[in-house]
Amino acid sequence: MELKRVVVTGLGAITPIGNSMPEFWENLVNGVSGAGPITYFDASLFKTQFACEVKGFDVTKYIDRKEARKMDLYTQYAVAVSKDAIEDSGLDTEKEDLNRIGVIFGAGIGGIHTFEEEVGYYFTHKDQGPRFNPFFIPKMISDIAAGQISIMYGFHGPNYATCSACATSTNAIADAYNLIRLGKANAIIAGGSEAAISEGGVGGFNAMHAISTRNDSAETASRPFSASRDGFVMGEGGGCLVLEELEHAKARGAQIYAEIGGVGMSADAYHVTASHPEGLGAKLVMLNALEDAELKPEDVDYINVHGTSTPVGDISEAKAIIDVFGQHAYKLNISSTKSMTGHLLGAAGAVEAIACILAIKNSIVPPTINHEEGDNDENIDYDLNFTFNKAQKREVNVALSNTFGFGGHNACVILKKYAE
């Protein structure tokens, strides 16, 4: 069976540094930090009092307020970015076979805001008996975003959610890619969203010592590969890609941003939260992606790393890159866009895949910001080009995006410049 080629024809993103593609890309290239004080709740008693929140999001630009009230914030982000991506792709749902269009859209955590509100209300008023909003469960569950997108457009193709912590939306892209190249769909709306900046989210990650507590310098707290890093910075938002079978896209005259070259998946099988110290799972997932794409390590120009700014994770990923790419590792551009967006958890993979696609399109590699001169970790090889602090112009023909999740879930997608 001849596998079909899969291309990207539409993009949508809502992030802490921009709610449209032009704004997101401009701020990414200019090294703008999305971090600031938490506004969703009073964080004064928390160890961490800042995050990368989305600014100025108006859900009524996408759906009416009555429908929005039936959705958790993470689902609102999902329907917004999917609508932007579908409009960007030019898909005409009046002309398409909707049985051949699917949705694979995930969340690492899901409706935590809804869960806290409903359960909090119950425990405050439990003497009155159990009282719950009838939309409690449909708002909370992590598959509902995929369902809402399909309902909004009438897409009858494959429809489900992926959930692999911070690898979630890369897994969504991988599944969409595999289904399309096997001929199971003409197009799939793929991505992820997250809205976990809440008392439970921040408090839980604080208890794990996973997030930065640099309250006196929030804007520079996400500093991947710097010796002074002390944990990731929570982010929120969503990212969506329209993946399409190449001949289907060409037949309707669609714009083509990039081609999906290949995907990889692996497990650390090591620890529930920590990555393998030698980067064994990270090494395997990149090798699997290269094999799937039928590419050599020397073919890759840019890696958008997982790079969360955690003490152990950054070291293990840097080691894995050297193990996989050898001497070519020193010719790559490497950057962590989480230094600007924060860590979008289940949405990270989709947003970072979009960053790779825009790097290919514009021949610019976005930076890893917040690195200070001399702020070097003795366990990291700084002969690697981490694209510190300033974007670099470079032709990017092949880009690789890494995402690694709690539980040891690793996923990688390779994006290529499209050529006939």
Instruction: Compute the distance between CA of residue 5 and CA of residue 293 in angstroms, rounded to an integer.
Output: 11
Pairing mode, strands 409-416 and 398-405: antiparallel
Q: State yes or no: is 52 an active-site residue.
A: no
Report the alpha-carbon distance of residue 164 to residue 167 in Å, rounded. Answer: 5
25 vs 227: CA distance, rounded Å: 28
Single out the residue of 349, 326, 329 nearest to residue 264, CA to CA.
349
- The answer to whether the beta carbons of residues 207 and 46 sit under 8 Å apart is no
Active-site residue identified among 52, 113, 163, 166: 166
Residues 34, 125: Cα–Cα separation, whole Å: 37
Question: Is 156 a residue of the active site?
Answer: no
Nearest to 103 by CA among 60, 162, 62: 162
Are residues 100 and 245 in contact, defined by beta-carbon separation less than 8 angstroms?
Answer: no
C-alpha pair distances (Å), 262 with each of 10, 225, 292, 313? 18, 27, 5, 24
160, β-bridge pairs: 104
Backbone angles phi, psi at 373, to 5 degrees: -55, 130
Q: Report how far residue 196's alpha carbon sits from residue 342's, in angstroms, rounded to the nearest whole number.
A: 12
Nearest to 89 by CA among 144, 155, 151: 155
* Residue among 113, 276, 306, 371 flagged as catalytic: 306
Of these residues, 113, 248, 276, 343, which one is catalytic? 343
371 is catalytic: no
Closest CA to 103 of 166, 180, 4: 180
379, 395 Cβ separation under 8 angstroms: no
Tell me the catalytic residues.
166, 306, 343
